[in-house]
Structures are given as C-alpha cells and as structure tokens.
Structure 1
C-alpha cells in the first residue's frame, strides 16, 4: 500500500437546525468581532437574517461583506479583506455557495499573514498563518467547507487556485435546512458537481489517491445518486436535502486528498469566459471526458455504476462503464440541465481558445487517468458542442 496523507476540516457540525448553535460556537472560541462573507442572493433570500440575529444575540460584533459574485475576481477578495481589516476582525465566517466560502478562506489568509495573494497561487504556496475560519454552506455541491482550495478569477477570464492545508477551515457547520429554498436548476447543477468530485477522486492518478478518499467517494455517490431527483423535484424534502449536503461534504473530503482532473480542467474556461455556473460547466463536459478516459477507467466506472444507478443492471468492464456514462448523461437531462455547449451560448469557433485555456490547468490535468493534449481537449469540446 502506498503511503498517503489525508487532511480535512477538524470540526464538523451537521444536522437540521445546527445553525442555531452559531452564536455559542463563535463565542466559545473567543471571537467577538467577525467578518461575515456572503453574496447578495443570500441576503435577498433572507438566509442572512437568522445567522445575524444569533450572532448579535451572542454579543458578537459583525461586519457584513455581501459583494461576492460567481467566479469571484481578485478585487472582490481584496475589498472583503480591506473591510475585515478595518473592522479588526478576529475571525471570518463564510455563508453561501462555493464562491462565498472561497472568498472567506482567502480573506482569512490575507488578514493572518503578510503574504501577497499572488504568491499564494498554486499548490502548497500559501504559508499562513490565517485568521480563524468558520464556513456554512447553503448549497450541496462544492464541498468547500472541507477543502483546502479557493478558486478565483484573475485578469479577465483565467481561474487560479490557492491550494494549501492552511486554508482548511477550523469549523464546518452544515445545516440542510439552509438548502431547502435552493432553486431546482441550482440544486441539479451543484448536485452533479458533487458527483463529479467523487468520480474524479475515485479515478485520480494522483500519488495521494488513497483508500479513505475512495471509500468516501463511494459513499458520496450512493447518497447523491439516490437523492438528487427528490432534491430537485421535491425541494422541501429535508431527508433528500440532508443526504445531498452530506454527500457533497464527503465528496469534498475525497477530492481534497485525491484531486480532481480533466472534467474540472475543461469546465473552468466555460465559467471564466462565458459565465457558465461551475456545476453546469462540469455537467456539460462530464460524459465526454469519461468516454475519453474509458480505456483506463472502465473497471472503476463499472464499480461505481451500481452505487449511483442500482437499476441499470449488472455489467463489468467496458460494458458496465458504458452503462454508467450513458446513465449519467440521462441523469443530467432528467434533472433539467441543458446538454450542449451551444445551449449556453458558446460558439463552435471558440473551441480552439477553450482547449488552449483548459491546457493551462496542469495542476488538474496531471491527475487525469489519460494524458490530455491540446487536440484531445478540442475533440472533447467538439463532442460536447
């Protein structure tokens, strides 16, 4: 057995109504001035009201930053960090989807160290220390509450990542009640995103692919596959929402330690250049990347198939893998997601540019079971178009 390391958030609180513990959790840690990082959608949905009330009741001074956007650009991170510094924040709380949680991680990093954000990009370059950090997800997709990764947009379109155990939060607070109002399209896209995390973690060729990650990926896929339809079509079903949130977290723990690969690498340019939401970007390229990986991953895909789709019948090797890939494509359609790049306004003549951009994501592509060259990336995009 190869040696490996495994990192995750040290304290995880999960359960319906867990948000009511927020004030006590914060004050027990001695945090009396915090910056709360979120987005205007969370504010408009009313999801910010209870956390703010709980913190105020506990005597915590809160500075609210609600300017996070999807695929957050660098200036958003710097504005949030400046606000937190001016408020002399002792800790950072992130509330929302993956973008808000990622910004919260970087704000905590910037306020705890003299290191510049630019020097922190890449794997293992963020040295810390950071401010204390608590993350509260309101979507079941990114697993960001248990990952040491923050992705932001630099320049006009390029995505860069800070990847370091330093930005793993101190506490993840997961309350499925916060996801009950999530719209069906967002539920579907984020759910597929979580499934991609588990699939890619399971088949990653990273030297750190390990039995803990593979076990978590299998459990995540079982939870996600059996509950995504109910969560999308019966959005107030707390049991389904709980399973999706737990599955997303488990997938996050898996890919934190056995990193994702070509699906994510090819998805990033779709978000960076066309504003396609991250989960939908993954869904659009997923079956095409899996077909590209087929020869190297047939047995693994066949192993995962009955966990997600117990009704598709037995199949080993290539036969089982084909059933798995086709069932995933059908699932994406059945939860209401568009299926083609053209459906999100991407022109066919953009494919060479997208392929060149995807090849910049070498930190991800090195984990893919089959090497991806420029012509391969272009062929996958053409298949998805």
Structure 2
C-alpha cells in the first residue's frame, strides 16, 4: 500500500431537526458573535431566521449576509469578508447550497486578516488561520461541508479554486429536513453532481487515491443509486432525502482526498460562460468523459457499475461503456437536459470552452487518460 493522506471535517452531526438545535450543536464552537452566510432564497423560506433564533437562544448575537449567488465572484467573497469584519464576528455559519458554503469558508479564512484572496488560488496557498466555522448544507450535492475547496468565478467567466485544509469546517450539520423542499430539477442536478464526485474520486489518477476514499465513494454510490430517482419523483420521502444527503457527504469526503478530474474540468466552462448550474454542467458531460476514459482505462468504471446500477455485469467486455449509457439514461429519467444545445450553448462556442477547460490543470492531472485540446473539443462536440 502506498502512503496517503486523508483529512476530513472533524465533527459531523446528522439528524432531522438539527437546524433548530444549533444552540446545542454549534454555539459553543462559534462564539458570541456569528455571521450567517447564505442566499436570499434561504432567507425567504425562513431557514436563516430559524438558524439565528436557535443561536440567539444560547446568547449569541447574529448577523446575516444573504447576497450569495450561484458561481460567486471575487467581489462577492470580499463583500462577505468585509461584512464579517464589520460585525466583529467570532465565527461563521454557512447555510445553503455549495455556493453559500464556499463563500462562508473563504469568509472565515479571509476575515482573520492573514490571507489575500488572489494569492490563495491553487493548492496550499491559503495562509494563516480562520474563524470558527460551521457548515449546514441545504442541498445534497456539493459535499462542500467535507471538502477543503472553495470555487470562485474570476475574470467574468473562468473559475479558480482555493484548496487548503484550513477550509475544512469545525462542524458539518446535516439536517435532511432542509432538503425536502428542493425542486425536482435541483434534486436531480445536485444528486448527479454528488455521484460525479464519487465516480471521479474512485477512478482518480491522483497519487493520493486511497482505500479510505474508495470505500467512501462506493458507499456513496450505493446510497445514491437507490435513492436519487425516489428523491426526484417523491420529494417528501425523508428516507430518500436522508440517503442522498449522507451520500453527498461521503462523496465529498472521498473527492476531498482523491481529487476529481476531467468531468469537472469540462463542466467549469459550461457554468462560467453560460451560467448553467454546476450539477447540470457535470451531468451534461459525464457520460461522454467516461466513454473517452473507458477506451483506455475501463476497469475502475466496470467495478463501480453494479454498485450504482444493481444487476449490471462488471465482467462484461463493454461494462464501462454500458455504465456511461446507464448514467445518461438516469439523467434523462430525472428530467435533466441531455445536450449542450438544450441549455442554449451554440456549436460556435465549443472551441473557446475547450480552451478554457484546458486551463483546469489542477483537475486534468487526475484524469485516468491524458486529455488534449482536441480531445476536450471532441467531448464537447459529442455532448452538443
């Protein structure tokens, strides 16, 4: 066994109703003044008020930064940092989807004054410590509550990542009740996003691909394979919602240590240039990337195929390609668009997208098969 490193969130709390028990779960960690980082939708549905009320029962003063939007920009991150400093926060609570959690992570780190955002992009460049940090996901997809990664939109369209163990929160609070109101398209897209995390973590060419990450990825796929369609079509099914939320966490733990690859690299330009939600961006290219990789590296995909799709034959010569087709069919059954043209992307944009994807060297190095510019363009053409 080769040496490896595995880091994860030190404390994970899972259970229905935990949002209303933040006074018990999180107040002591966050301190007397807490900035809640979230979005306007979470405020409108009352979740932010519930979080504040729970903390205030423990004598904690709260403020809410609710300006987070999908694909957060540098300006938005810096605005959240400024609000946190102005409030004199002793801790940060991230509440919402992946964008809110990513902003909360950076806010907690930057507010201490020890780091500069633009100098922090890349792996291991974030300096200094952070404020105490608790993350509460309201979608079952990004796994951000268990990853040392925050993604920021830079230069208008391009996405850059800050990767550092400093960004792992002190506590992840998983309350499946918070996901009950997710619309079917969001449930489907975020669910397939989580599946991508597990698939790419298991098949990653990273030298830190390790037994712990692979075991977590397999359990994540087992849970989500049985639950995703139920969660999409029966939105009030709490068991399916719980399995999806736990599966998303496990997938996040897996890819936090065995990093993702070309699916994400090719998804980023779709989101950055055309504002397509991240989970849907992944779903649009997923089967095409797997077919590309399976031409030279089919074994890992064949092994995981029956975990996600019961009854699939992992020993069949074309198992990896059948797996790719099954993922495309799953996406279709969940009601997601199937082609790049279906989300308004013109064929004339594919070359620029391919060039942008090739800038994601942090991710492409983990792909099982080396990817050239022509390969990236070919995958986009197949997806178009």
Q: Name the TM tier (shorter chain).
A: over 0.9
Once residues 26 and 143 of structure 1 are traced to their aligned partners in structure 2, the CA distance between those partners, rounded to angstroms, is 19
The aligned residue for residue 101 of structure 2 is 101
Q: 1:74 to 1:361 in 2, by over 3 A?
A: same
Displacement of 1:48 after TM fit? Answer: 1.8
Instruction: Please state whether the residue corresponding to 2:111 is helix, strand or coil.
Output: helix
How far residue 296 of structure 1 moved from its aligned partner, in angstroms, is 3.3
Cα distance in structure 2, aligned partners of 1:317 and 1:124: 42
SS in 2 for 1:296: coil
State TM-score, norm by structure 1: 0.98
Tell me the distance in 1 between the aligned counterparts of 2:92 and 2:58: 16
Deviation at 1:295, TM superposition (A): 2.8
Deviation at 1:47, TM superposition (A): 2.0
**Alignment-derived partner of residue 121 in structure 1:** 121
Q: Distance in 1 between matches of 2:153 and 2:83?
A: 20
Indicate whether 1:321 and 2:320 are aligned: yes
**Equivalent residue, structure 2, for 1:79:** 79
Q: State how far apart, in whole Å, the 1-side matches of 2:30 and 2:222 are.
A: 39
Cα RMSD, aligned residues only: 1.0
Q: Secondary structure at the match of 1:29?
A: helix
2:32 is matched with 32
Distance of 1:245 and 1:189 partners within structure 2: 13
Superposed, 1:216-235 pairs within 5 Å as 216-235=216-235
1:323-343 Cα shifts (integer Å, max 9, x gaps): 211110100000000000000
**Map of 2:310 onto structure 1:** 310
Q: Unmatched 5+ residue regions in structure 1?
A: none
SS at match of 1:297: coil
- Structure-2 separation of matches of 1:165 and 1:235: 34
2:338 alignment partner in structure 1: 339
- Contact 2:30/2:133, CA 8 A, preserved across alignment: no
1:31-70 counterparts in 2 under 5 A?
A: 31-70=31-70
Aligned to 2:379: 380
Provide structure 2 residue ranges, at least 5 long, that are not aligned to the other structure.
Answer: none
Question: In structure 2, what is the Cα distance between the partners aligned to 1:30 and 1:48?
Answer: 16
Partner of 1:160, secondary structure, is strand
SS of equivalent to 1:93? strand
For the pair 1:330 / 2:363, whether they are aligned, the reply is no
User: TM-score scaled by structure 2?
Assistant: 0.98
Distance in 2 (alpha carbons) for counterparts of 1:3 and 1:164: 20
Contact 1:8–1:168 (8 Å) recurs in 2: yes
The 1:262–1:281 alpha-carbon spacing in structure 2 relative to 1, beyond 3 Å, is same
In structure 1, what is the Cα distance between the partners aligned to 2:29 and 2:373?
Answer: 50
SS in 2 for 1:293: helix
**Partner deviation per Cα, 1:299-347 (whole Å, 9 max, x = no partner):** 2111111111104x42415422122111101000000000000000000
State whether residues 108 and 132 of structure 1, in contact with CA within 8 Å, keep that contact through their aligned partners in structure 2. Answer: yes
| Residue 64 (structure 1) shift | 0.4
Q: Deviations over 1:155-201 (max 9, x none)?
A: 21010100000110000000000000011000000000000000000
C-alpha contact (below 8 Å) 2:259/2:363 kept by paired residues = yes
CA distance in 2, matches of 1:323, 1:262: 19
The 3-state SS of whatever aligns with 2:68 is coil
Q: Which residue of 1 aligns with 2:136?
A: 136
Matched residue, 2:350: 351
CA deviation after TM superposition for structure 1 residue 30, in Å: 6.0
